[in-house]
Structures are given as structure tokens and as C-alpha cells.
Amino acid sequence: MSRASRSWPDPRDIPNYSPTEAARFLGLPASTLRSWTRGWTYRTESGEERRGEPLIELHDSASNELSFTNLVEAHVLSAIRRHHGVSMPRVRQALDYIDRHLGTRHPLARQEFQTDGVDLFVEHLGQLVRASKDNQVILADLLRAHLRRIERDEQGLARRLFLFTRSEGSDQPPVVVIDPRISFGRPVLAGTGIPTEILAGRFNAGESIEELAEDYGCESSLIQEAIRIESRAA
């Protein structure tokens, strides 16, 4: 087979992140992310135990690792689950509703969700949780704040994800980015390509933030945000 005809996999679809690692990048409990990708059990009001289907479809079902596309899906889901406490069975129903309308795999990682799916999702989710119209608007705004952290290509597919470096506030500057084409998909300082794990490693070895900022020609505040990503517990 010639090199020209060889089909290379899209780096966005390659399993590359363990649940623990992905959870740390997204500021999620690792157990939560595992339940989203592997399913979960729950009890109904009558005490019957049931099995919940995964909210995120892994590209390789035999692997526990997430792809970049899965990482983007989890980023969007975190806005719903973490900030609003919507139950997973209800989220599953709402995702099925969106899937039927968009007709695509991994809809949360696609442009269609940003343009059409948010309002559809919020409308259906609002009915499920009996939310008021005001609550629906708040949820839509929160989802859009998360969607603004996703940079897309010409086909509307996610190609870069700017991570939240702090647990509070959706207006944080886009400082740390994951790009599956750079540094094997590890988080880097935006615009520099410097892996955050290298900065954190040097800091943990005793170098000061000021020394690192001077070495890499960056502002100290950027170095601090990079270290924050690597030091927070999952």
C-alpha cells in the first residue's frame, strides 16, 4: 500500500486518556467520569435495581480510555451534571432526544449541538426536571459558556478544548488547551505548546514560578494556571 493511499486515523478519535487523567483535566471525580463512559446502576422509587446506559460512547468499547472527542463530550456534560444536579437517567433521556433530532454520533462534540441542540436539549431537560423558564435560560447560558471553550474546524467538529483551570467561574481566560495534534494531546499553555506537566514537574522539583516564567518567556500568571491544572486532584 502506498503512503498516499494509506488511511491514517483521526487523532481526535484515538483512545488517549484514562478516566483518572481525563477527570483531572476536567476537574471531575474519576468515579463520575467512569459512570458516564461505562454505565451505572441505580434504584427506582420502588426499590428495583436498574442499569443505566453510558452517556458517552467510547470509540473503543474494549478500552477504558477516552478519546479527545469523548473528552469534549464530558466537558459539556459537566455543565449539566455538576452545576444542576440533574439525574443521569434524565440526562440519558435528553441525550436520546437530541440524538434523534440531530441523527449523528457524539452530538455533544459537534457543531449541530451548539447551533440547534442546546435549545432542544434544554427544552426537553426542562420538562424532565420541571424547571421554570428562568431555570432553562440559566442552564442554556451555562451550556453555551462551556461550548465557547471548544474550537471547531470547518466541518463543525471539535478540534481544540480550552480547559477551565478553576472550579468556579465560567468566564475564565482560555489559558490551557488540549489539541490532539500537539504534544500527543496533553494540556499545553495556549500559544506556546509548553506541556503543563513539564511546568508542574519543574515547580514540584523546587523551581519558582518566577524562574519558570523567565525560562519560557511567559507571564507568571500563566505558569500558575498551568500548575493548577496538574496539581488538582481528580
**Distance between CA atoms of residues 136 and 182, nearest Å:** 37
Is the model more confident about 8 or about 100? Answer: 100
pLDDT of residue 135 exceeding 60, the answer is no
Helix, strand or coil for residue 162? strand
Residue 37 included in any domain: yes
Which residue has better confidence, 61 or 128?
Answer: 61
Q: How many domains does the chain have?
A: 1
Residues 6+ apart with CB under 8 A from 111: 152, 155, 156, 157
- Per-residue pLDDT tens digits for 217-226: 999 999 999 9
Residue 160 belongs to a domain = yes
* pLDDT tens by residue, 23-43: 999 988 888 899 899 988 877
Please tell me the total number of residues recorded for the chain in this structure: 234
Measure the CA–CA gap between 159 and 161, rounded to whole angstroms: 7
For residues 59 and 69, is the Cβ–Cβ distance under 8 A? yes
pLDDT (mean) for 78-101: 76
Position 194 in a domain: yes
Task: Categorize the per-residue pLDDT at 4 as very low, low, confident or very high, splitting at 50, 70 and 90.
Answer: very low
Q: Residue 184 belongs to what domain range? A: 11-231
* 3-state percent breakdown (helix, strand, coil) of the chain, nearest 5: 50, 10, 35
How many other β-carbons are positioned within 10 Å of the β-carbon of residue 45? 5
Q: Indicate whether 19 belongs to any domain.
A: yes
Dihedral of the alpha carbons of 225, 148, 82, 12, in degrees to the nearest 10: -80
**The predicted structure's pLDDT at residue 233:** 56
pLDDT of 6 higher than 90:
no
Alpha helices by DSSP H, the chain? 19-26, 30-38, 68-84, 88-102, 111-112, 118-129, 133-147, 196-204, 209-216, 220-231
Split at pLDDT 50, 70, 90, the class of 134 is low
In a domain, 4, yes or no: no
pLDDT band at 2 (very low <50, low <70, confident <90, very high): very low
Cell numbers placing 201: 514537574
- The backbone torsions φ and ψ at residue 172, rounded to the nearest 5 degrees and listed phi first, read -70, 145
What pLDDT, on a 0 to 100 scale, did the predictor assign at position 5? 45
pLDDT tens per residue across span 73-89: 999 988 877 665 677 77
pLDDT higher than 80, residue 131:
no
Measured distance CA(147)–CA(170) in Å, rounded: 11
Percent of the chain with pLDDT over 90: 40
Residue with cell 505558569: 223
Higher pLDDT, 166 or 32: 32
Q: What is the pLDDT of residue 185?
A: 95
Mean pLDDT of 53-67: 87
* Sign of the torsion formed by the C-alpha atoms of 143, 145, 150 and 151: positive
In a domain, 2, yes or no: no
Res. 132 pLDDT band, cuts 50 70 90: very low
Burial of 184 (0-12, 13-18, 19+ CB in 10 A): exposed
DSSP 230: H
Model's pTM, two decimal places? Answer: 0.83
Please choose, from the candidates 102, 94, 38, the residue with its C-alpha nearest in 3D space to the C-alpha of residue 66.
38
